[in-house]
Amino acid sequence: MLNWSALTEAQILLFALVLLRMIAYVVSSSFFGSPLVNAPIKVLLSLVLAMVIFPVVKVGNVDYSLISSEIISLAVRELIVGLTLGFLTRLFFFVVSMTGDLVSMSVGLSAAQIYNPMMGSQGGVVEQFYSAMATLVFLAINGHHMLLTAIAQSYELIPVSSLALNVGPFAEIAVFGQAVLVMAIKMCAPVLVAILIVNLAMGILGRAVPQINVLVTSMPVTIMMGMTVVFICLPLLIMEMNGVVEITASKLFAVMKHL
């Protein structure tokens, strides 16, 4: 058992590196990094997790005597690793937020902006609804356990005190951004198709009966049809969210293995 009162200088510096990666991960992660979580709670959570993980941390091939001389480079590396892994955990909520934005714009509710606590920004009411659903799905499938497992395994796959850092996976992250956009379009495709059909029907009706004010009439019809399709497709949306979480988890662990 580790004696915390008898740590050497090298062990203290090593613990500081572990804590830096943990703080960067917690602050930038999808669930623990939410603006709803106060900063002191994030720091306390990072400290507790670092103390739990530190006794079993894999330290790599660098000797303890070299830690003090390379402490700045090692600290920057740990911050980059923590922020990268935390960003990858947010991709699931990025997909859901993008889907909500597309649905809001197609339905005509994009002007109604409210605060989205998960993303820390303003968003449409449909985006807020989708974010709430995504949070419930994330907790239901133990996504928060996945976050803790990922940061714990990162210390095995990416040893602390090692100066090596492979930048190749960063290009894969950029390519994965394209896949995120495709997944968002697939998730909102039923609503987009339904709204397109409604707009075509209203256009034909406006040409056939010019006395009808299509501009005024189409708005409630579009909203009603769009929200109807949203609620009908909720089971499919939840299934798609499960798939997005699995894809995000696989991408996260793949990046960790190659960093």
pTM: 0.79
Averaged over 103-121, what is the pLDDT? 67
Query: Could you tell me the two tokens for 244?
Result: 């997005």
Q: What's the sign of the alpha-carbon dihedral 90, 94, 95, 100?
A: positive
Higher pLDDT, 163 or 191: 191
Question: Is residue 65 very low, low, confident or very high in pLDDT (cuts 50, 70, 90)?
Answer: low
Averaged over 216-225, what is the pLDDT? 81
Round to the nearest angstrom and report the end-to-end CA distance of the chain: 30
Length of the chain: 259
Question: Is residue 127 very low, low, confident or very high in pLDDT (cuts 50, 70, 90)?
Answer: confident
Question: Is the pLDDT at 118 greater than 60, yes or no?
Answer: no
Buried-state track 27-41, b at ≥16 Cβ within 10 A, e below 16: bbbbbbbeeeeeeee
Predicted pLDDT of residue 41: 87
Collapsing DSSP to helix, strand or coil, 115 comes out as: strand
Predicted pLDDT of residue 174: 76
